[in-house]
Amino acid sequence: DLLFIEGRVDFQNVCFSYTAGKEILSEVSFTVMPGQTVALVGPSGSGKSTIIRLLFRFYDVQGGCILIDGQDISKVKQNSLRSYIGVVPQDTVLFNDNIRENIRYGRISASDQEVEEAAVAADIHHKILSFPDGYDTEVGERGLKLSGGEKQRVAIARTILKSPRIILLDEATSALDSQTERNIQASLAKVCANHTTLVVAHRHEELLAMGGLYAAMWLKQQQTPESEVS
């Protein structure tokens, strides 16, 4: 186990393909400084979600390396790595349990009150209360009673509760209407402040709403992205 204290992320010449002969990432290099928010921007299929998956070690890189605080993540125990990272994936899968435990999974020592505060911050609390069983509602793995956007908000509540050093948001607000989006962005901005954040975003307003300094990384197919700081 290794300790990540600052949360600096370095991709160094990362190469990756899902199937032989079709390289998705080719010598991709970039740095996210501790506490910085970086947006991954690029066309569909350019590898944005792949970058998120590699950082969470769903897959291992095939060339180059990914460092957190200078430590190669392929040499860190998966559990140890994942305890420092919170992910809101493109397609959130819930656990076969009730909503309360799905949120509490972010930090299992959290009290019921802390779970509800996270749900309020993620703008999902009222939706949960609208169910006859409230927080005890069983959602099942496919989250049958929740829309895509609502499932993402459960994942956001989980991440708020976990408050990890590194936050990965894969199009966290794409499935939401604009009012809900604004509400959540306000709370996400609070959560992401002082945390290293990598966010896949499609619209410029999403980036600005995250607040503060951000760097946009324009990912083009089969090319090393340029870094741009504003």
Residues that bind ligand ATP (CB under 6 A): 18-19, 24, 42, 44-50, 90
**Would you count residue 92 as binding Mg ion (CB under 5 A)?**
no
Q: What does 47 bind: ligand ATP, Mg ion, none (CB cut-off 5 to 8 Å by kind)?
A: ligand ATP
Q: Which residue number is nearest to Mg ion in terms of Cβ?
A: 49
Q: What does 24 bind: Mg ion, ligand ATP, none (CB cut-off 5 to 8 Å by kind)?
A: ligand ATP
Of the candidates 15, 8, 125, 118, the residue with the CA atom closest to the CA atom of residue 65: 15
Q: What does 50 bind: ligand ATP, Mg ion, none (CB cut-off 5 to 8 Å by kind)?
A: ligand ATP
Closer to ligand ATP by Cβ: residue 89 or 106: 89
Which range touches Mg ion (CB under 5 A), out of 45-53, 105-113, 150-158, 217-225? 45-53
| Residue choice 36, 37, 46, 49 for contact with Mg ion (CB under 5 A) | 49
Closer to ligand ATP by Cβ: residue 48 or 162: 48
| Strand order across the beta sheet in which 71-72 lies | 25-32, 9-16, 63-68, 71-72
How many beta carbons lie within 10 A of that of residue 60, not counting itself?
11
| Pair 135, 116: CB distance under 8 Å | yes
With b meaning 16 or more CB within 10 Å and e meaning fewer, what string describes 101-118? bbbbbbbeebeeebbbbb
Total residues found in the chain within this entry: 230
- Kindly state the smallest distance separating residue 125's Cβ from ligand ATP, in Å: 28
| Pair 66, 11: CB distance under 8 Å | yes
Q: What does 125 bind: Mg ion, ligand ATP, none (CB cut-off 5 to 8 Å by kind)?
A: none
Of the candidates 45, 59, 81, 79, the residue with the CA atom closest to the CA atom of residue 14: 59
Residues binding Mg ion (CB under 5 A):
48-49, 90
